[in-house]
Amino acid sequence: MGRRRRQNSDGDEDDALEREWFKKRQKASATKEEDGGRDSNKSNDESTHQTAEGAAHHNIEEAAAAVTKKDDTHNNADKIERLRLKKQLKKQRQKEKKAEAAKQAAEARQQKEKEKLQLQRIQKEKVAKKNEKKEFNESNQSHEFKSLRKGVKYLDVKVGNGSVVQHRKKIRVAYTLRAKNHTNGKIIDASKNFGFRLGKGEVIEGYDIGLEGMRVGGIRRLIVPKQAGYHNDDIGAGRGADLFFEIELLHVAP
């Protein structure tokens, strides 16, 4: 009876050990499941976090792309505006160049016309001088000097149509005094407005004699010998030389 009781005691110990082992196993299983749950939650959290990060990164990329697109649009607008301004400036410069070219062409035409008119004027003056010289030569050929008192000689180059000179009346003349001849002799004296009273002895005697019968507007040449001039005095033509006057009668006092 004692042996059976011992056997029962051993059996109880085994059962206790088995129960203890089973509890530990359940506890280990529960701990493993709990760790697995935590790992799953952690994995889910990490997955959610990664998803959120991916979404944020995608949003950032979209925002950056939008900014880039906006910048590109702005840059394109600036580029278009610069091209427009450049084209406008080019047109303005072309317009200014055309205006400057037109101005220069107009000035060139004006200068050419001015030179043409000047050339025509010079040619007319040459023709007029040539005709005057021709008329003068013909006048000299068709007329001879006429003699007056004291050896004074005269030749009317041009007969005036104004008042006739009178003794003791004040007159005004333009004259040129030369030596040797009337055309290219040395000029001794000249005046464009010389006044005196005719026949009063205010000038040499040859002057008073030579202007007799002359009319205003006329031109007369005189050859005055020494006896009607300065006698043997030398006034630039030599001692006792003949004097060659060309006189234009400007005015006779009433």
pLDDT in tens, the chain (254 residues): 444 444 445 555 666 776 777 777 777 666 655 555 555 555 555 555 556 666 666 677 776 666 666 666 777 788 888 888 888 888 888 888 889 999 999 999 999 888 989 888 898 888 887 776 666 555 554 468 999 999 999 999 999 999 999 888 899 999 999 998 998 899 999 999 999 999 888 999 998 999 999 999 999 999 999 999 888 888 888 888 999 999 999 999 98
Q: Given this model, what pLDDT does residue 30 score?
A: 64
Q: Are strands 243-252 and 153-158 parallel, antiparallel or unpaired?
A: unpaired
Q: Given this model, what pLDDT does residue 19 score?
A: 72
Q: Given this model, what pLDDT does residue 73 score?
A: 72
Q: Is 246 helix (H, G, I), strand (E, B) or coil?
A: strand
Q: Given this model, what pLDDT does residue 209 score?
A: 93
Q: Which residues of 14-34 are buried (b: 16+ CB within 10 A; e: fewer)?
A: eeeeeeeeeeeeeeeeeeeee
C-alpha–C-alpha distance, residues 136 and 145, integer Å? 14
This prediction has a pTM of: 0.44
Among the listed residues 149, 142, 139, the one whose alpha carbon sits nearest the alpha carbon of residue 246: 139
223 has which bridge partners? 153, 244
Q: Given this model, what pLDDT does residue 20 score?
A: 75
Distances (CA, A) of 120 to 107, 116, 124, 126: 20, 6, 6, 10
Q: Given this model, what pLDDT does residue 64 score?
A: 66
Complete edge-to-edge strand list for the sheet that includes strand 219-224: 146-147, 153-158, 219-224, 243-252, 170-179, 187-197
Q: Given this model, what pLDDT does residue 54 score?
A: 62
Q: Is 248 helix (H, G, I), strand (E, B) or coil?
A: strand
What single-letter DSSP state applies at residue 237?
S
C-alpha–C-alpha distance, residues 8 and 5, integer Å? 5
What single-letter DSSP state applies at residue 145?
P
Q: Given this model, what pLDDT does residue 191 score?
A: 94
Considering just the CA atoms, what is the radius of gyration of the chain in Å?
68
Distances (CA, A) of 142 to 45, 128, 169, 181, 220: 142, 21, 32, 18, 15
CA dihedral sign, ordered 110, 111, 116, 119: positive
